[in-house]
Amino acid sequence: MVEIKAVGVVGSGQMGSGIAQLAAVHGLKVWLLDSDPEALSRAKTFIAGNVRRMISKGHISQANGDNALSLLSYTTNLEDFQDADIVIEAIVESEDVKKNLFRQLDRIVKPSGILASNTSSISITRIASATSRPPQVIGMHFMNPPPIMKLVEIVRGADTSDETFLATKALAERFKKTVICSQDFAGFIVNRILMPMINEAFHALYTGVATKEDIDAGMKLGTNHPMGPLELADFIGLDVCLSVMKILHAGLGDTKYLPCPLLIQYIDAGRLGRKHGIGVYDYRDAAKQAQPSARL
């Protein structure tokens, strides 16, 4: 089985930064890459703040925190991934964009390296087809935010090898995560169930069944969900929700996966959720914009 000592992460947004932080805190050398130097600078500040909070709350020692920060490198150059044992992609949820990245990684990363995607819905088999190493391509879907959420969903493509699967599973378990395993069907496990629920919440709002507040309160208090579905959609990003619903509809061919017109309308209006300050709810009051990922 491949021994993973060095990790590359592509994308310095909330998911990529969180994955990089996890790997460093657990003693692995990490390169975090983004094409935008300003985004990398923000990620560096974000991760450092999270690690300091972990130290102050006694989750890790000062020495472990300092070591984690020393293990992190920030780069805009894919060539720095040459020696990575695994590269985890956490970029935009677009099959074409991911395939293009995997083609480049296939050329750069050493032959034994694993290429993993944090995709929440796109076929691993199709992503792997862009490379010369389908047996070493796998889905490693972290939940948001990665440092806090306890689950990793591992997805095997049609050609993913047992060795790749076992090495990826061992890495997730090193991160103290519970692993669930999905076959390569649209939406996998979590989003196959979650996104239709969110879409139905939009239908309930669209058809006037109830207010957004009552829909969310009903699911939080009636089914013990930590967030209501509309609040959760804002947290995930309405554009991401729409992308996943389109993938479910295309991949499974059932009209029940058609995106709600209201969801589409919100996106057309630029209401993408927390990240844009407004979605189903309005977050433009700075006091409402505290991110759960910053509270460790």
- Known binding residue 279? Answer is no
Locate 28 and state its tokens. 């692995």
Q: Mark 134-147 as b/e (b = at least 16 C-beta within 10 Å).
A: bbbbbbbbbbbbbb
- Is 163 among the catalytic positions? no
- Known binding residue 144? Answer is yes
Catalytic, out of 89, 118, 153, 182? 153
- Is 153 among the catalytic positions? yes
- Known binding residue 139? Answer is no
Query: Is the distance from CB of 64 to CB of 25 less than 8 angstroms?
Result: yes
- Is 120 among the catalytic positions? yes
Catalytic, out of 89, 121, 141, 199? 141
- Known binding residue 14? Answer is yes
- Known binding residue 256? Answer is no
- Known binding residue 12? Answer is yes
Angle between helices 14-25 and 62-70 (to 10 degrees): 120
Distance, CA of 56 to CA of 62 (rounded, Å): 9
Q: Which amino acid is at 284?
A: R
Distance, CA of 165 to CA of 137 (rounded, Å): 9
* Strand order across the beta sheet in which 137-142 lies: 72-75, 29-33, 6-10, 86-89, 114-117, 137-142, 151-156, 178-182
DSSP letters for 7-63: EEEE--SHHHHHHHHHHHHTT-EEEEE-S-HHHHHHHHHHHHHHHHHHHHTTSS-HH
- Known binding residue 13? Answer is yes
Distance, CA of 9 to CA of 58 (rounded, Å): 27
- Is 141 among the catalytic positions? yes
- Known binding residue 289? Answer is no
Locate 192 and state its tokens. 């196959």
Locate 4 and state its tokens. 């993973």
- Known binding residue 120? Answer is yes
Catalytic, out of 120, 123, 243, 293? 120
Catalytic, out of 191, 199, 243, 293? 191
First to last CA, the chain: 33
Which alpha helices (DSSP H) does the chain contain, by range? 14-25, 37-56, 62-70, 95-108, 124-128, 162-174, 190-206, 212-223, 229-236, 238-252, 261-268
Give the residue numbers of the binding site for NAD(+).
11-16, 34, 93, 98, 120, 144, 275
Q: Supply the residues annotated as catalytic.
A: 120, 141, 153, 191
